[in-house]
Amino acid sequence: SKDKTLSWAERCKVAIGVAKALDYLHNGNSHPIVHRDVKSSNVLLSEAFEPQ
């Protein structure tokens, strides 16, 4: 549900996933992409709390 509080392990999993995604956008191909609006409300999570 939307009212669930994430554990610290889940929060770290999300933060690492977002960091890996941003690293890929910035460094993963020949045309870097800058998002310019990274915030928690812009991160979509799967049911397993993996950033999508």
Task: Quote the domain boundaries for residue 45.
Answer: 1-52
pLDDT in tens, 1-12: 567 788 999 999
Residue 42: other Cβ atoms inside 10 A: 9
SS (H, E, C) the chain: CCCCCCCHHHHHHHHHHHHHHHHHHHHCCCCCCCCCCCCHHHCCECCCCCEC
Confidence band, pLDDT 50/70/90 cuts, at residue 29: confident
> What is the number of domains present in the chain?
1
The pTM of this model reads: 0.77
The pLDDT of residue 1: 56
Residues involved in catalysis: 37
Average pLDDT over residues 6-27: 92
Asked if residue 19 has pLDDT above 90, the reply is yes
* Residue indicated by tokens 């049911």: 47
Query: Looking at residues 23-33, what average pLDDT do you find?
Result: 89
**Residue closest to 43 by CA, chosen among 7, 19, 9, 8:** 19
